[in-house]
Amino acid sequence: MVWEASHIYAPASPAVLEVFCGTPPLASAVHVIDRLDGVLWDASGGQPYPLPETGLLVVREVVSSERRPLRWTGEETVSWQNVRGPDDLSVITVDSLGETTYLSYLYAPPAPFLRFLKATSMRCASVVVFYHHNTFNGLTEEEFAWVFDPAGQDRLYVRTGETLVAVHTGARYEVLSRASVLALVLRDLGVLLEDVAAPPAFPPHRLSFPWSRYRYDCGGAVSATAASVEDNANG
C-alpha cells in the first residue's frame, strides 16, 4: 500500500486563515479540523489529544507542479510553484544540509516557498509547519518537517531511523535517539504528548479520514495576499 502526506499545519487563527485563504492556489486546499466527532483518535477509542484552541489548519496536498496528481494515489494537489516569500529571509534548504542528512529533491519544498511559510509565521505570530511523510508497503521511505516559529527561528526534523530524528536549526545539528517527527511537530503545535519516541495515532493520517467534512470555505474569509506577507515580514 502507498500513502503520502504533504501538508501545511498551523493553529487555525483568524490571521493564519486570512493569509492562506488569500494565497492562491493554497486557498482551494484549506481545511480546519476543529472537532473529531465520530472520528476515533486511536483503535482503542481513547480520548483524543487536545487540538489547538482555534482548531488545526491543514493545507493538503502541497507539492511540486510536476507531481500533479500524486503518483500512485491519484490525490488532487496544489502546487507551491508560485508561492514565494521575501528573498532576504534565511531558511534551511536541502542544499544547506551537506552530507549530514539526506532529503529527496522530489519531496522537499523549494526555498521561495519555505520563505513564504516563515514570513507567514512571523506575520501571524504563529507556528507554521510543512510536514511530509510517504510510505510504500507500510514502510516509511521519507518523513521530515520544517517548523517555523514566531521568533523567526526555523528547524528541520528528518527521520533517519526507526526512532532517530536529525534536528537542524541552522547553525546547530543534533540527532535525537528516541523521537518521532510527527510527535515533535504535534508538540510544537501545542498538542501535549507523554512520549515523543513513538509515532502517535493521528486520525488525519488515516486513509479513511473524512477530509470533505473539514474543508474550509475561504469564500467568506477576508482576503490577504502573499505580497502583504512579504511587506509585513520586511517591515
pLDDT (tens digit, 9 = 90+) per residue, 11-55? 999 999 999 999 999 999 999 998 876 665 554 445 556 678 889
Mean pLDDT lowest among 77-91, 130-144, 158-172, 197-211: 197-211
C-alpha cell at 105: 529533491
- Other C-beta atoms lying within 10 Å of the C-beta of residue 233: 20
Q: What percent of the chain has pLDDT over 70?
A: 77
What is the structure's pLDDT at 226? 42
What integer best gives the mean pLDDT of the chain? 82
CB atoms within 10 A of CB 65: 12
Query: Could you report the per-residue pLDDT of 110-144, keeping only the tens digit for each?
Result: 999 999 999 999 999 999 999 999 876 666 778 99
C-alpha span between 209 and 131 (Å, rounded): 17
Contact (CB, 8 A) for 207 and 200: no
Question: What does the alpha-carbon distance between residue 36 and residue 174 come to, in Å, rounded to a whole number?
Answer: 35
From the list 129, 124, 116, the residue with the least C-alpha distance to 57 is 129
Cα 90 to Cα 93: distance, rounded to the nearest angstrom: 9
Higher pLDDT among residues 180 and 31, named by residue: 31
Q: Give the list of residues 6+ apart from residue 173 with CB closer than 8 angstroms, or none.
A: 100, 101, 166, 167
Residue 166 pLDDT > 70: yes
Burial code (b: 16+ CB inside 10 Å, e: under 16) for 100-124 equals: ebebeeebbbbbbbbbbbbbbbbbb
DSSP state of 149: -
- Strand 78-79 with 62-63, pairing: parallel
Task: Please calculate the CA angle 123-128-134 and round it to the nearest 5 degrees.
Answer: 155
